[in-house]
Amino acid sequence: MIISPAFAQSAAGPAPFDPFGFFMPLLLVIAVFYFLVIRPQQKKMKEHNAALSSIRRGDTIVTGGGLIGKVAKVVDETELLIDLGKDNQVRVIRSTISSVLSKPDPADEKKSKPANDTDDKDDDKGEAKAKTGRKRGKAKK
């Protein structure tokens, strides 16, 4: 047997340790997890905590157990009394609420007044018309 010259050559030494090339994939994976998983979850938790702290009477909520009801009373900063319907009321801990379905519209002066309502002067005319049973300026026959 003849030994080929390729096998007779000496093996090259180990490659020098490159810390930048070794840690770069690990840092990339951590950055991807932060921007795709951790950061959106923190934003969602911040919104959820803001929604829980702004719950008021009249809001429709869903509890962690799946009960849907309206907030009848805010007992204190940790407890709520919710109305489930047909004289069923339950006290729940605020942190067990999973979502707020709807909030009632805030009472606004312009919205609370009917559209056909006018000044006080017009109201006086309407009262006079109602008392006499006739329109102003026309004589009763």
Residue 9, both tokens: 């050559």
Q: Is residue 131 part of a domain?
A: no
Confidence label for 33 from pLDDT (cuts 50, 70 and 90): very high
Q: Is residue 113 part of a domain?
A: no
User: How do 68-74 and 79-85 pair as beta strands?
Assistant: antiparallel
Residue pLDDT, tens place only, 17-29: 788 788 899 999 9
- 45 and 59 share a domain? no
Mean residue pLDDT across the chain = 78
Look at the chain and report how many structural domains it folds into: 2
Q: Is residue 116 part of a domain?
A: no
- 84 and 62 share a domain? yes
Residue pLDDT, tens place only, 108-136: 555 545 555 554 444 555 554 555 555 55
- 59 and 98 share a domain? yes
Q: Is residue 90 part of a domain?
A: yes
CA 53 to chain centroid: 10
- 61 and 41 share a domain? no
- 73 and 37 share a domain? no
- 61 and 93 share a domain? yes
- 97 and 72 share a domain? yes
Q: Is residue 111 part of a domain?
A: no
Query: Does the CA dihedral 34-37-38-43 come out positive or negative?
Result: positive
Contact 82, 69 (CB under 8 A): yes
pLDDT of residue 103: 75
- 44 and 62 share a domain? no
Q: Is residue 138 part of a domain?
A: no
Q: Is residue 7 part of a domain?
A: no
Strands annotated E in 57-122:
60-63, 68-74, 79-85, 88-93, 97-102
Q: pLDDT above 90 covers what percent of the chain?
A: 52
With H, G, I as helix, E, B as strand and everything else as coil, classify residue 129.
helix
Q: Is residue 32 part of a domain?
A: yes
- 89 and 67 share a domain? yes
Residue 74 domain boundaries: 55-102
- 47 and 59 share a domain? no
Higher pLDDT, 12 or 5: 12
- 47 and 83 share a domain? no
